[in-house]
Amino acid sequence: MKRNLNNRLDCLSLCSFIRGRGMQNKSTWCTLTMALMLVVSRSIVGDNVAPSQSPPNDIPVFNVPQFLVFGFDDQDELSGMQAVIGIFKQRKNPQGLGQKETFDGTPLRCAFYTAGQYLDYTTIKNLHYQALSDGFEIGNHTYSHTTGFNTSQSTWENEMEQCNSMLASAGIPEESIVGFRTPFLEYNNATFKAMTSLGFLYDCSIEEGFEKDQTAGSYFWPHTLDNGSPGNKAMIELNQPYELIKSYPGIWEIACYDLILPHDSICENYGISRGLRARTCNTIDYFDTTTGKLTGLDYNLIEEAEVSADEFLGILKYTLDLNYEGNRAPMTFGAHSRYYSNTTWARQLEDFIDYALSYPDVRIVRPVDLISWMRDPTPLDTGVTGITDDLHRKYSTDAFRINVLPHRSIQISGYNDGTVTAALFALNGKKIPSVCRGFSHGKTRGLVLTASSVSAGVVIVSVKNRRMTYYRKVQLRDGF
C-alpha cells in the first residue's frame, strides 16, 4: 500500500507531540498517532532538490549547522543497541541561540535501521518501542538481510513489508518508518521502485564522495533522486557493479559519505601513528593512498581496515574537521550497534561525539530532522540577514582583537585559547583560500591570516575556538 511521503514525516512530529504530552501507554500512543495521521492528510508539492555543494538557500557556510547523522544497522545484539541509546540519551546539542529550527540544545538522537529477522523476542521488541517513544528514529533494513545487486522489485517489496510487519509487532507504527538502508549498501533500480511503491521518504545506501573532484568539505548536500545520483555515477565509473539509477521523484538521499584517513603529515595531530594510509592499503586492495577515502561505515574501519581504537577515533575527528572547515555538508556515519557492546568501541564513539559537541555549530540529529531542515533551511543565527561591521555569535565572553595589515593580511590576537582557528569568507559565504601562521611578539601572540587568491576588498573574517565563533567584516589592503 502506497503512503504519502510528507504525511509519513509528519507522523514523526506527531509522535514527538504525543510523547511530550506524557502519553506513554502503548495502546493510547498508537491509537492517537494513527488518528492524528488522518487529520494531517494535507497536500504538499513533492520535494525536488538538486545535488549542490553549497548550503541551501544561499546561507553563508559559516552560518549553517554542521550536521552529524548516525544510523545503526541490524540490531542483532540487545546489549549493543542498549549501549548506543545510553550514549545518546546522556547528551545534548550545543545551546547556541536557543533556536528550535536549528536544534539548539536538543537531546541527541540517531536512527536504527533494523533487519526484521532480529525482532524475534520480546526484550528487543520492547527496546525498539521504548527507543521510538524516547525520540529515536526506527528505519527499515529488510527482513532477512540477504538482498543484493540482482534482487527483483517484488523481492525488495516483500523484504521491506516483512520488516515493517515485524516492527509493527514491536509497536512501531508503520507510518513512522520513513527511512531505508540496503544490506551491504547494495542496490539497483528495483530497490528505488520498491521504495517508491511503499512510500518511503528517504534512502541512505548510496555512497557519496568517490567523485574525483570531491573530498570531505566539498561533498554534495542531501538531495532528492529526481535526477539520479552523482554518487551512484561515480561508483559505476570505478567499475563497481551498480546500475545507473534513474529518476525517482521525491525520494531523498542521505548519502553514506566517505571517511577520510589522515595523511602522514597530520596523523600525529589526531593521535595516530604515521603510515596509516600505507597500512590500510595492505588490508584493503582497493584503497587509494592518495585520496585516503574509505566507505563511511564502522564495518569498513573495524573489519576491513582493521584500525586500532585510536585510529578509529582519529579518522572520525579528521573527517568531521574537514567537513566543518569546508562547505559543512552533513557528516554521516553508518554503524552497527553490535560493535558498541564492546566497551573499547563504545568509548571511542563517546569520545568522538564529545569532540563533535565541543564545536558550537555542530548539531547531531536524526535523518528526518536533517530532511526537515533541508525543506526549510534556517541559519544558526536568524538575526543575521546581512553582514554588519561587527557581527558576533555570543557563545561566551571571549574576545579577539583583529587588525588589518598590508598585503591582504589580518592579525588576530588577544586570546588565551590555543585551539583558535581563523578563516576568510567572501560576502556570499564562499570560503577564501588563505595561509595562516602563528606569531609571537613579547607577551603578545596570535595568528596572521593572508588571503592567497583574492585582491583587496571587503571580506568576512571568522575566528573561533571550542566555545564561540566571532565574525567581522574587514577591508583587505594590497599595499601599505
Helix ranges restricted to H, 21-111 = 26-39, 78-89
| Predicted local distance difference test score (pLDDT) of residue 322 | 95
- The residue-averaged pLDDT of 346-359 equals 97
The rounded distance, in Å, linking the Cα atoms of 391 and 384 is 8
- Percent of the chain surpassing pLDDT 90: 66
Give the predicted TM-score (pTM) of the model: 0.80
| Predicted local distance difference test score (pLDDT) of residue 107 | 98
Give yes or no for a contact between 406 and 479, defined as CB atoms under 8 angstroms apart.
Answer: yes
| Predicted local distance difference test score (pLDDT) of residue 225 | 98
pLDDT in tens, 271-284: 999 999 999 999 99
The rounded distance, in Å, linking the Cα atoms of 340 and 322 is 25
- In this predicted structure, the answer to whether residue 49 has a pLDDT above a threshold of 60 is yes
| Predicted local distance difference test score (pLDDT) of residue 29 | 40
Cell of 108: 541527541
Backbone φ and ψ of 392, nearest 5°: -115, 140
Give yes or no for a contact between 258 and 294, defined as CB atoms under 8 angstroms apart.
Answer: yes
| Predicted local distance difference test score (pLDDT) of residue 45 | 44
| Predicted local distance difference test score (pLDDT) of residue 245 | 98
| Predicted local distance difference test score (pLDDT) of residue 397 | 33
Rg, C-alpha atoms of the chain: 23
* DSSP single-letter state for residue 338: G
| Predicted local distance difference test score (pLDDT) of residue 466 | 59
Structural domains in the chain, sorted by start = 47-375 (3.20.20.370), 390-475 (2.60.40.10)
- In this predicted structure, the answer to whether residue 83 has a pLDDT above a threshold of 60 is yes
- In this predicted structure, the answer to whether residue 85 has a pLDDT above a threshold of 90 is yes
C-alpha distance from residue 318 to each of 66, 181, 315, 322 (Å): 14, 25, 5, 6
Confidence of residue 464 (pLDDT cuts 50, 70, 90): confident
The rounded distance, in Å, linking the Cα atoms of 217 and 315 is 14
The rounded distance, in Å, linking the Cα atoms of 257 and 243 is 19
Give yes or no for a contact between 218 and 322, defined as CB atoms under 8 angstroms apart.
Answer: no
336 three-state secondary structure: strand
More confident residue, 419 or 259: 259
| Residues contacting residue 435 through CB under 8 Å, at least 6 positions apart | 449, 450, 452
| Predicted local distance difference test score (pLDDT) of residue 74 | 98
Cell of 109: 538522537
- In this predicted structure, the answer to whether residue 38 has a pLDDT above a threshold of 50 is no
The rounded distance, in Å, linking the Cα atoms of 288 and 251 is 31
- In this predicted structure, the answer to whether residue 389 has a pLDDT above a threshold of 80 is no
Of the candidates 66, 107, 106, 91, the residue with the CA atom closest to the CA atom of residue 464 = 66
pLDDT in tens, 103-157: 999 999 999 999 999 999 999 999 999 999 999 999 999 999 999 999 999 999 9
- The residue-averaged pLDDT of 379-386 equals 61
Give yes or no for a contact between 203 and 181, defined as CB atoms under 8 angstroms apart.
Answer: yes
* C-alpha 115: how far from chain center: 22
C-beta neighbour count of 316 within 10 angstroms: 25
- The residue-averaged pLDDT of 249-263 equals 98
- The residue-averaged pLDDT of 462-470 equals 67
More confident residue, 29 or 88: 88
- In this predicted structure, the answer to whether residue 309 has a pLDDT above a threshold of 70 is yes
- In this predicted structure, the answer to whether residue 222 has a pLDDT above a threshold of 90 is yes
Q: What is the mean pLDDT of the chain?
A: 86
| Predicted local distance difference test score (pLDDT) of residue 8 | 54
Give yes or no for a contact between 249 and 269, defined as CB atoms under 8 angstroms apart.
Answer: no
The rounded distance, in Å, linking the Cα atoms of 312 and 280 is 12
The rounded distance, in Å, linking the Cα atoms of 218 and 323 is 7
Helix axes 5-20, 367-375, angle to 10 degrees: 110
- In this predicted structure, the answer to whether residue 36 has a pLDDT above a threshold of 70 is no
- The residue-averaged pLDDT of 382-386 equals 46
pLDDT in tens, 409-453: 888 887 665 667 788 888 766 778 888 888 877 777 788 889 887
Cell of 294: 574509505
Strands 202-203 and 248-253: parallel
Confidence of residue 408 (pLDDT cuts 50, 70, 90): confident
Beta strands in 421-457 (DSSP E): 421-425, 431-432, 434-441, 444-451
| Predicted local distance difference test score (pLDDT) of residue 384 | 45
| Predicted local distance difference test score (pLDDT) of residue 411 | 87
| Predicted local distance difference test score (pLDDT) of residue 419 | 66
Helix ranges restricted to H, 170-305 = 189-198, 230-237, 264-267, 276-283, 298-299
